[in-house]
Amino acid sequence: MVGVSRFSVSVDPGLLEEFDRTIEGLGYNRSTAVQVAMRGFLSEHKWGEGAGEVVGAITLVYDHHVSGLVGELNHLQHEHLGIISSSTHVHIDHDNCLEILAVEGPASHIKSLAGSLAVTRGVKQLKLSILEK
Ligand code: NI
């Protein structure tokens, strides 16, 4: 044990109430929950310039009826073969598709691919999850 650091924070009371309710359901105390949240935040934000090799997933939801969208998404994926390890496609309902891309490679390339996918017309949501190797 290398000791602990203590700090105090100011938060919206409603947010804290919801936080406490949620962590109680998970069996966490505040210290554990804040550490879990901090690690998640760091893995989401500290990668970027010079972050090196990472692994992760790009999850997107899109409306496959939007003209040209499916072709554009295919094009982008073929352009980035080197960093896409696999992809899974799920037909969610009549209009929407869910696609999950497993990615591995330089953080900057993955960020660039996610950025290109996110701004493709018809893409409704995109989430990028990055984990350090
Ligand atoms: Ni589909």
pLDDT at 15 over 80: yes
Ligand 1 (ion): residues with CB under 5 Å are: 91, 97
Distance 72 CA to ligand 1 centre (A): 14
φ, ψ (nearest 5 deg) of residue 102:
-85, 130
Across 93-117, b (16+ Cβ under 10 Å) vs e yields eeeebebebebebebeebbebbebb
CA–CA distance, 118 with 35 (Å, rounded to integer):
30
- As a whole number, the mean pLDDT across the chain is 90
The SS3 assignment for 18 reads: helix
pLDDT at 11: 93
Which ranges in 1-133 belong to alpha helices (H)? 13-26, 30-45, 69-79, 107-118
pLDDT at 42: 78
The SS3 assignment for 130 reads: strand
Write the pLDDT tens digit of every residue in 18-71.
999 999 999 999 999 999 999 888 777 666 556 688 899 999 999 999 999 999
Higher pLDDT residue, 132 or 20? 20
Distance 89 CA to ligand 1 centre (A): 6
pLDDT at 131: 80
Distance 3 CA to ligand 1 centre (A): 51
pLDDT at 43: 73
CA–CA distance, 112 with 124 (Å, rounded to integer):
18
pLDDT at 102: 97
Average pLDDT (71-93) is 94
pLDDT at 46: 67
Under a CB-based contact definition with an 8 Å cutoff, are residues 111 and 32 in contact? no
